[in-house]
Structure 1
């Protein structure tokens, strides 16, 4: 299984509520750049899961309308909720892209790497790509890529 953690792109600082904050013009460009990078690297049947927050939905929409909003991915959600939504490590699909928030996505990355949650930071619009693959009868975690729009 491939698990891709994609943090939402840059969003406005103020709005009527946290859930309705929208992407800035710069954020839209970041999301488009990352979507272009992902498009050339993932399969057509990849599943996109997004937080119900406007900024994550707008980030996912840079890839198209293939996303599904999942309440458990809302701001303040747990790392375990992200892994459960994606079906990690077996997966609800071969490739699952989770479009979410800090600090949750950083905690997921730390949990996968170290076995415990920590306050790791994922840059806005950044992607961390993990792969779980069988190796000698056990599962092996591989970090396939870490990138952000300013590196593309």
Structure 2
């Protein structure tokens, strides 16, 4: 399967974490990332995002139906996501829009093949990492295909 992990774009500061919205800059970031993705994604891909408003706003730039999953919320744990990933159909392309630190932790998990809490990579706002993920006897093998920042796409 192809799995794209896309961090939400820049947001306003607000005390209600799930209600935070994209700034004007964040809207531009999301638009740039979405334009690149739309040019490279197959016709039949699925989009998942967290319950946070900022991920839903980021997802809206893909102009596709979106499934909202609590598993992708800011407090998600990479091992829970690994279980969710194993349950997905293997011949699909999925875009998961979420948050740091779990996106960076999950990127490290996919490429390292195991979970180490202290290992994660910084994923900048509205950046995405595109993986080819295969499963062999309940173990995964992931290959990074693309990692892009919106600032590179200008």
Give the TM-score normalised by structure 2: 0.87
Q: How does 1:62-141 map to 2 (within 5 A)?
A: 62-87=61-86, 91=89, 94-114=92-112, 115-117=114-116, 118-133=119-134, 140-141=141-142
Which residue of structure 2 lines up, in the alignment, with residue 4 of structure 1?
4
* SS of corresponding position for 1:5: strand
Conserved? CA contact 1:8–1:59, under 8 Å: yes
RMSD after superposition? 2.1
Give the TM-score normalised by structure 1: 0.88
Unpaired stretches in structure 2, ≥5 consecutive residues: none
Query: In 2 relative to 1, CA 61–87 (structure 1 residues): closer, same or farther, beyond 3 Å?
Result: farther
Q: How many residues align?
A: 148
What is the alpha-carbon distance in structure 1 between the residues aligned to residue 80 and residue 143 of structure 2?
21
What is the alpha-carbon distance in structure 1 between the residues aligned to residue 92 and residue 57 of structure 2?
24
Conserved? CA contact 1:86–1:92, under 8 Å: no
Conserved? CA contact 1:86–1:96, under 8 Å: no
Which residue of structure 1 lines up, in the alignment, with residue 34 of structure 2?
35
Which residue of structure 1 lines up, in the alignment, with residue 152 of structure 2?
151
Q: How far 1:64 sits from its partner (Å)?
A: 1.4
Q: Deviations over 1:50-93 (max 9, x none)?
A: 001000000000111421110111111011233333446x6465
What is the alpha-carbon distance in structure 2 between the residues aligned to residue 80 and residue 91 of structure 1?
18
- Shifted more, 54-63 versus 76-85: the winner is 76-85
Conserved? CA contact 2:49–2:96, under 8 Å: yes
What is the alpha-carbon distance in structure 2 between the residues aligned to residue 85 and residue 134 of structure 1?
13
* SS of corresponding position for 2:146: strand
* SS of corresponding position for 1:96: strand
Q: Deviations over 1:21-68 (max 9, x none)?
A: 000000000000000000011112111110010000000001114211
